[in-house]
């Protein structure tokens, strides 16, 4: 799994379009963190700016220095979660020495972020209804980096060149999404225990599946 470098993306602005001071960025981050909890707990319809500002411990006026309203803070939250999940994946992959280890590490980074931020799934799914454009942006930003990573690995001979890198990127992202839902979020909901981790055996099983799917394969079976 390969992802665009989230460090090179534009920095956030104030509601008036001005660059933020580092203190301003910290306050904006605090609002987004509160929004993550409020939207995940209550859903978009029940959530309100007042509940977000109460959770963040700031005044309503401060909120409006950074965001125009509920829809905008929701969209910025999706973009922020997207940037952070990609960073978690990129950091996990940094030490990998070959393609298959990198794939595995990328998904470990994804699952680690999901365990710490279960809001990711709820918020992204609600984006389908609240802001379809932001939902698309979320998926496209992950897929674009993934796809270019697969192309590079094909050029190096590490990934089967018969695979279409775009369709393959969507397939693997979907696999990771449902495996995260099933073995992380559902188990966590069932337990009521402290944050679950993805069981190592599931990561092993997934890595075996991905290795099979991606590795160059001797074409003795005839055309696909």
Q: Which residues bind a copy of itself (CB under 8 A)?
A: 43, 45, 100, 122, 125-126, 128-129, 132, 136, 139, 160, 162-164, 167-168, 170-179, 181-183, 186, 189, 202, 204-215, 217-218, 221, 224
Nearest approach, Cβ of residue 221 and a copy of itself (Å): 7
Nearest approach, Cβ of residue 117 and a copy of itself (Å): 16
Nearest approach, Cβ of residue 121 and a copy of itself (Å): 8
Number of other residues whose CB lies within 10 A of the CB of residue 86: 25
Rg over alpha carbons for the chain, rounded to the nearest Å, is 19
- Sequence length of the chain is 224
Task: State phi, psi for 217 to the nearest 5 degrees.
Answer: -125, 135
Integer Cα distance of 106 and 108 in angstroms: 5
Residue 81 buriedness (CB in 10 A; 0-12 / 13-18 / 19+): buried
Nearer to a copy of itself, 22 or 212 (CB): 212
Nearer to a copy of itself, 8 or 212 (CB): 212
Nearest approach, Cβ of residue 57 and a copy of itself (Å): 27
Nearest approach, Cβ of residue 59 and a copy of itself (Å): 30
Nearest approach, Cβ of residue 30 and a copy of itself (Å): 26
Nearer to a copy of itself, 33 or 160 (CB): 160
Through-space distance between the first and last CA atoms of the chain, rounded to whole angstroms: 24
Nearer to a copy of itself, 66 or 74 (CB): 74
Alpha helices in 57-185 (DSSP H): 60-66, 70-93, 99-116, 119-130, 132-155, 165-180
Nearer to a copy of itself, 20 or 137 (CB): 137
Cβ atoms 54, 60 nearer than 8 A: no
Nearer to a copy of itself, 90 or 150 (CB): 150
Residue 208 parent element (H or E): helix 200-214
Nearer to a copy of itself, 15 or 202 (CB): 202
Nearest approach, Cβ of residue 7 and a copy of itself (Å): 26
Nearest to 92, CA basis, from 2, 153, 19: 2
Number of other residues whose CB lies within 10 A of the CB of residue 165: 19
């Amino acid at each position: 799994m390969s992802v665009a470098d989230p460090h090179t993306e534009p920095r956030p602005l104030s509601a008036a379009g001005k660059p933020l001071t580092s203190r301003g960025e910290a306050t904006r981050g605090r609002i987004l963190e509160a929004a993550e909890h409020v939207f995940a707990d209550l859903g978009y319809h029940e959530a309100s700016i007042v509940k977000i500002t109460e959770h963040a411990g700031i005044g309503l006026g401060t909120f409006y220095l950074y965001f125009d309203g509920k829809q905008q803070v929701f969209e910025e939250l999706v973009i922020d979660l997207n940037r952070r999940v990609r960073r978690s994946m990129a950091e996990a992959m940094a030490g990998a020495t070959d393609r298959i280890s990198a794939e595995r590490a990328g998904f470990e980074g994804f699952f680690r972020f999901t365990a710490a931020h279960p809001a990711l799934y709820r918020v992204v799914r609600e984006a389908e209804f609240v802001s379809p454009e932001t939902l698309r942006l979320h998926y496209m930003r992950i897929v674009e980096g993934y796809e270019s990573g697969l192309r590079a690995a094909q050029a190096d001979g590490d990934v089967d060149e018969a695979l279409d890198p775009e369709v393959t990127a969507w397939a693997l992202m979907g696999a990771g999404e449902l495996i995260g839902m099933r073995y992380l979020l559902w188990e966590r909901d069932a337990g009521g225990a402290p944050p679950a981790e993805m069981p190592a055996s599931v990561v092993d099983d997934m890595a075996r599946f991905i290795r099979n799917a991606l590795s160059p394969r001797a074409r003795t079976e005839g055309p696909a």
